[in-house]
Amino acid sequence: MKKNKESEWKDYYKSLTGEQAFQERIKGRQPVIEINGHPFFIEARWEKLTPKDNFLSTGIDLSEAGELIDNHYKIYYDTKTMSQAEILTDITKLPENVVLIEIPSLYDLDPVMMAELRNKDPRAYLDQHPLIMYREAKVTPLEDTPLMELVQKNLEKLKASQPSHQREVKPSPNASKRKGNSL
């Protein structure tokens, strides 16, 4: 039953387009972005993405996501905590439960709220940034990201910093031939 209700909710959001989407947004309905199979509410006013039905997660703070690249945020995302993953620069293996996600700019995610925040007409940005009430983030496995290259470089550095060959201490050939006490 819950799956059916969730499916209806998602289908309704996806059906909102054009003027109907705009009217729903003006009434307070927030746009949604699906990240790795889970819906997140877009809270442009606070520059946050908040997971639906998971109040334990801190979500994703876009103000801490770094620069926009080609009008998108590229964020390492922890699929377990549903939040931004912290990646150390000295990693030697890919972290588990982490993927790279691409999130459009806030103007693309919620052009109505961005206009409101700039004291403009709510429709001001809709020509350049059409309102899409339900969208999906692009998800890339870590193996297909620059992080894989970083892991390889760190492994090479680690290997180079270790002694290449430990000397083995072998007993002298005469030591094994001795018999008895040597007084």
Task: Say what the pTM is.
Answer: 0.81
Dist. CA 83–CA 5, nearest whole Å: 25
pLDDT at 174 over 80: no
Grade residue 76 by pLDDT with cuts at 50, 70 and 90: very high
Mean per-residue pLDDT of the chain: 88
Of the pLDDT bands very low, low, confident and very high (cuts 50, 70, 90), residue 46 is very high
